[in-house]
Chain A
Amino acid sequence: MIDTATPILRVSNLSVDFPMHKSVLHAVKDVSFDLHRGETLCVVGESGSGKSVTARAILQLVAKPGEITAGSIHLATEAGEVDIVALGNRGSAIRQIRGRRIAMIFQEPMTSLSPVHTIGHQIIETILLHEKISKEEARIRAAALLDRVRIPNPDAALDRYSFEFSGGMRQRAMIAMALSCNPEILIADEPTTALDVTTQAEILSLIRELQRDRGMAVLFITHDMGVVAQIADRVMVMFRGEKVEEANVFDLFARPQQAYTRALLGSVLKLETPAPRPARPMAEKPIAEINDLALHFPLNPGFFGRPTAYLKAIDGVSLTINQGETVGVVGESGSGKTTLGRTLLRVYNPTGGQVHYWRGDGTSVDIASLGKAGMKSLYGEVRMVFQDPHSSLNPRMTIYQIISEPLRTNTDMSEHQMMDRVQELLTRVGLPADIGDRYPHAFSGGQRQRISIARAIAVRPRLIIADEPTSALDVSLRHQVLDLMRDLQSEFGLSYLFISHDISVIRYFCDRVAVMKNGKIVEIGDVAQICERPQHDYTRQLISAVPRPDPRLRADAPA
């Protein structure tokens, strides 16, 4: 009989500090919660909320120089309660808990498995660490585990390496490894964040299924309210190291008690309804018309002779972007959406098709076959905004240098004029005008993305290609950045090609959307029509896999 009355894990007044250069960062402040057998507790919060550090503290895995400074973590065992904090982070006592009683899966399935050991080696090693059985028995059990997480040909898969598997398969192998010693608690630290939505849906249902089978307690760390609504029994909200609120999942979504929770839910729900859009004009004027565009990379070119196969990154894509319109491109990783955006700026040279672009002066050019000089003159009209604001700004250039660079190369403005323009741009994107002489590291992710946008609009472009501009941002910042982009659109008459994997962002922001798969567009149409009445199977699958931030949509929701 499972004892559900007494918690299996009691965390009381936990504090974790990271000594910094001259100060102390309180990563976790006085956090207490209980975890019961068979339940899923979701810890949700934005970056820097201390949710991951809390999870690591439970296994004594807090990285140096971080340190648990106060509190206790009581784990119920057959022999009574054990305080994990008192065990320290070395020695056999804590090692017998790690992997045996409490197992953990991590965010990055790409890097959480060793690249130089076989999958089987890593699972069997875990079993042999904790149980006195023979290697052969351990191997049989490892194969059964891989079968359980639905990896095909489990016995052969044991002898393969992690880099031979896709991201989803790696995360399954990681789960199999975590479950190999029948742990009582599974800690999952953003296990689906790095995966595509359809893969995420599979992994989430797998975790839920395994949990029911085994009566395991799951502590699930995530930033995604949609995932919370799908899988949580109870939810703990964290903000800047403190626990804000803890409640049943249905109560939390229906009646959030704290202002922060309400704000967080508000920014998620805001993305659920499309932003108000002006009606499209009756007669559309195209700015760019992509015609049967193709980009094939040769695979496996022989020593002599011709390549035997091609990777069709873009395989005959046709798409029109009208003036003042936002066209979304949605697809999973490997669908060719990012490659499409880059090919439009000739980062890659297309191997077929045309891209007709109508310039500001009314003349039309074919970007696909344009020479170097012609492209150079276009960089003043077509600009790009990148996904990762941390790596797309040169850390050794000041904000002024970053924003003025396109002005320097595309216009003949004087230094004085550029100074004025940069100040004006900074104010326009909602940043103080006097930050020009500071460096990117002084700014947060959201601020940096505003700087990227300021750089993109500096030369008054007509078309902006935005590649996942909000994916690296916390949810509360996403709609702010999108709203800024929309305001700029109506102010300057911009057109956007908006590339994203996130259908809710697309629905919020775009007029029309193209769904890409394996280098082809499978469906294209008005955003409302695609999201509500998808015609193609793949689109339907993609949309239904997106976790909606509403627990009432769950199968097990109370009536």
Chain B
Amino acid sequence: MLFFILKRIAGMIPAMLAISVLAFTVIQLPPGDYVSTYAAQIAQSGETVDSAVLNNLRERYGLGENVVVQYFKWMGGIVRGDFGQSFEWNQPVTDLIWGRMGMTALISVLTLVLMWAFSLPIGIYSAARQYSITDYLSTAFAFLAMATPNFLLAIVLLYITTMWFGVSVGGLFSPQFENAPWSLAKLWDFITHAWVPIFVLGTAGTASLIRIMRANLLDELHKPYVEAGRAKGLPEARLILSYPTRVALNPFISTVGWVLPALISGELIVSTVLNLPTAGPLLLQALKSQDMYLAGAFILLSGGLVLIGTLVSDVLLAISDPRIRLS
């Protein structure tokens, strides 16, 4: 098992490198280099820049050198924990990014967990009682939820909570807690705010997971081993939960791999609509103002999150299915 995990982690290294090349390409795409963008920005505000500072910056990022050398300088910095400087914020990227990425990860993982918590039992029930009223209701919900765009749901939800209940649910914290240290009151404040983005982000995913679980289980329910279990006298509920559900879980677990990237990219739009302090809006802003070190770092870290999600789903699969573990 340990060997399996190590092998998977080793497999992630080339993928991570490929992502870094991609992120670097994004940095290199706009014309000119960012030190000149930086100088132009400062010059616009009427101040003068010391050419020594500019040269120092050029030296540090190896600008004017070969692209390959630049890439290795950038990567070398990252390995040491230095993601470069954000031009727009005039701060090291590292200072800007961790809080935002942390929030993104937190919201994504919470959403994922809640998606599973709802879709699993509903999907199982829906399959076990195929063509019952409950099945039809869950199917109707699933199709409706899958067809509704996230941002629309976010706007509608904002409208309803603000107009009907008079509560503001934008952001993740009320203003007084924004910079306060964590406390019970802050946690409660977070919960009262976070349910909106989680609900918005999770609805479509939950709906498709319900359909996936239902279809998987329906495929398994008529397999001979289920009949064999019934023939040995297992009660129906226990039979379904311990046999076909175990097998049907496989494709379900694999969904972590694609649900996580979908959540992270879906989060960008939703967070912008809901004004959340997560990575999405900052990435959008960085892309708009060509703040390329910041953008590159976000892309790199989001890619990393996706890889971690895939690793988690692989490990979970290996735990749940001996056929994967042993062959």
- Interface residues, chain A, with chain B CB atoms under 8 Å away: 59, 61, 63, 90, 92, 95-100, 103-104, 106-108, 111-118, 125-126, 129-130, 161, 163-164, 174, 177-178
The DSSP consensus for interface residues of chain B is helix
A116, B233: Cβ atoms under 8 Å? no
A98, B323: Cβ atoms under 8 Å? no
Nearest chain B CB to A277 CB, angstrom units: 42
| Cβ-defined partner of A129 (8 Å) among B233, B236, B320 | B233
Binary A-proximity of B217-230 (CB < 8 A = 1, otherwise 0): 00000111101111
| Chain A residues closer than 8 Å to B224, beta-carbon distance | 106-108, 111-112
A129, B246: Cβ atoms under 8 Å? no
B97 close to chain A: CB less than 8 A: no
Q: Can you report 14 A-B residue pairs in the complex whose CB atoms are below 8 A from each other?
A: A59-B231, A61-B230, A63-B227, A97-B233, A98-B232, A98-B233, A100-B233, A104-B231, A112-B224, A112-B225, A115-B225, A116-B322, A161-B322, A163-B327
| Cβ-defined partner of A113 (8 Å) among B222, B225, B233, B327 | B225
Nearest chain B CB to A193 CB, angstrom units: 13
| Cβ-defined partner of B227 (8 Å) among A61, A97, A99, A161 | A61
B322, A112: Cβ atoms under 8 Å? no
Bound-state Cα–Cα, A92 to B224, Å: 22
Q: Across the two chains, which residue of chain B brings its CB closest to A123?
A: B232
Bound-state Cα–Cα, A421 to B323, Å: 50
Q: Which of B227, B232, B234, B236 has the most CB of A within 10 A?
A: B232
Nearest chain B CB to A538 CB, angstrom units: 30
A114, B233: Cβ atoms under 8 Å? no
| Chain B residues closer than 8 Å to A90, beta-carbon distance | 236
| Cβ-defined partner of A99 (8 Å) among B225, B231, B321 | B231
| Chain B residues closer than 8 Å to A125, beta-carbon distance | 232, 234
B72 close to chain A: CB less than 8 A: no
B243 close to chain A: CB less than 8 A: yes
A114, B243: Cβ atoms under 8 Å? yes
| Cβ-defined partner of B247 (8 Å) among A98, A104, A114 | A114
Bound-state Cα–Cα, A95 to B229, Å: 11
Nearest chain B CB to A477 CB, angstrom units: 25
Bound-state Cα–Cα, A61 to B320, Å: 29
| Chain B residues closer than 8 Å to A99, beta-carbon distance | 231-233
Bound-state Cα–Cα, A210 to B294, Å: 74
Bound-state Cα–Cα, A96 to B234, Å: 9
B326 close to chain A: CB less than 8 A: yes
Nearest chain A CB to B228 CB, angstrom units: 5
Bound-state Cα–Cα, A287 to B139, Å: 61
Nearest chain A CB to B224 CB, angstrom units: 4
B246, A116: Cβ atoms under 8 Å? yes
Q: Known: A103-B231, A116-B321, A116-B323. Contact between A111 and B247, CB under 8 A?
A: no
B32 close to chain A: CB less than 8 A: no
A111, B233: Cβ atoms under 8 Å? no
| Cβ-defined partner of A114 (8 Å) among B229, B231, B320, B326 | B229
B322, A96: Cβ atoms under 8 Å? no
Q: Across the two chains, which residue of chain B brings its CB closest to A116?
A: B246
A177, B232: Cβ atoms under 8 Å? yes
| Chain B residues closer than 8 Å to A117, beta-carbon distance | 242-243, 246
Bound-state Cα–Cα, A98 to B233, Å: 5
Q: Across the two chains, which residue of chain B brings its CB closest to A127?
A: B232
B222, A111: Cβ atoms under 8 Å? no
Bound-state Cα–Cα, A226 to B223, Å: 29
Chain A to chain B: the 8 pairs with minimum beta-carbon distance, closest first: A99-B232, A99-B233, A98-B233, A104-B231, A112-B224, A95-B233, A112-B228, A111-B224
B235 close to chain A: CB less than 8 A: yes
Q: Known: A112-B225, A113-B225. Contact between A161 and B326, CB under 8 A?
A: yes
Bound-state Cα–Cα, A163 to B235, Å: 25
A114, B230: Cβ atoms under 8 Å? no
Nearest chain A CB to B320 CB, angstrom units: 7
| Chain A residues closer than 8 Å to B322, beta-carbon distance | 115-116, 118, 161, 163
B247, A115: Cβ atoms under 8 Å? yes
Nearest chain B CB to A297 CB, angstrom units: 16
| New contact pairs (12) apart from A95-B233, A100-B233, A163-B323, CB-CB < 8 Å | A97-B233, A98-B231, A98-B233, A106-B227, A108-B224, A111-B223, A112-B228, A113-B228, A115-B247, A115-B322, A126-B232, A129-B233
Bound-state Cα–Cα, A118 to B229, Å: 14
B247, A130: Cβ atoms under 8 Å? no
Bound-state Cα–Cα, A216 to B212, Å: 44
Nearest chain B CB to A107 CB, angstrom units: 8
Nearest chain B CB to A370 CB, angstrom units: 36
Q: Across the two chains, which residue of chain B brings its CB closest to A180?
A: B232
